[in-house]
């Protein structure tokens, strides 16, 4: 078995990372706070920019996600790419929830994430 580097798989990994970041930027974007910004004093008060950062990240990560996923689709079959992309994003979101946001840890989650990872590895090996 020879190992060869295919950039499409890197693009798919990057798209998954962008999906995870996009998910959390959406979580922290508050439309109500954006509507409440006093635009006439926007540059004088740093809280306006801090309010906009999650929305700016939402757009940037969304564009990055679509860009890298579309690059991966040029080489990887769509069904395989979608399954792996979504599986890696789900695993990434669960890891962030557990390690960063301190969601309750359950061993059964490790089992199911392992099932997802087995599926991802199987799809990659047969693609």
**Which tens digits make up the pLDDT trace of 4-40?**
778 999 999 999 999 999 999 999 999 999 998 888 8
Whether residue 94 is contained in a domain is answered as yes
**Number of folded domains in the chain?**
1
Domain span holding position 44 = 7-126
Whether residue 1 is contained in a domain is answered as no
Please compute the mean of the pLDDT values over residues 99-127 and round it to a whole number: 88
Measured distance CA(5)–CA(11) in Å, rounded: 12
Whether residue 122 is contained in a domain is answered as yes
Whether residue 18 is contained in a domain is answered as yes
Mean per-residue pLDDT over the chain, rounded = 90
Whether residue 2 is contained in a domain is answered as no
pLDDT score of 1 more than 70: no
Phi-psi region of 103 (alpha: psi -120 to 50; beta: other; left: phi over 0): beta
pLDDT score of 79 more than 80: yes
Which tokens go with 15? 């798209």
pLDDT band at 120 (very low <50, low <70, confident <90, very high): confident
Whether residue 108 is contained in a domain is answered as yes
Whether residue 96 is contained in a domain is answered as yes
CA distances from 12 to 8, 30, 99, 122 (A): 6, 29, 23, 16
- Percentage of the chain with pLDDT > 90? 62
CA angle 117, 120, 121 (to 5 degrees): 90
């Amino acid at each position: 078995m020879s190992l060869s580097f295919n950039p499409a798989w890197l693009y798919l990994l990057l798209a998954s990372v962008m999906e995870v970041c996009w998910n959390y930027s959406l979580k922290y974007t508050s439309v109500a706070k954006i509507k409440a910004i006093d635009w006439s004093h926007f540059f004088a008060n740093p809280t306006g920019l801090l309010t906009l950062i999650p929305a700016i990240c939402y757009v940037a990560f969304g564009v990055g996600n679509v860009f890298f996923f579309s690059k991966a689709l040029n080489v990887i079959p769509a069904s395989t790419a979608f399954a792996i992309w979504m599986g890696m994003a789900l695993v990434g979101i669960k890891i962030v929830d557990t390690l960063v946001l301190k969601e309750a840890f359950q061993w059964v989650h490790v089992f199911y994430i392992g099932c997802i990872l087995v599926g991802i590895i199987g799809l990659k090996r047969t693609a």
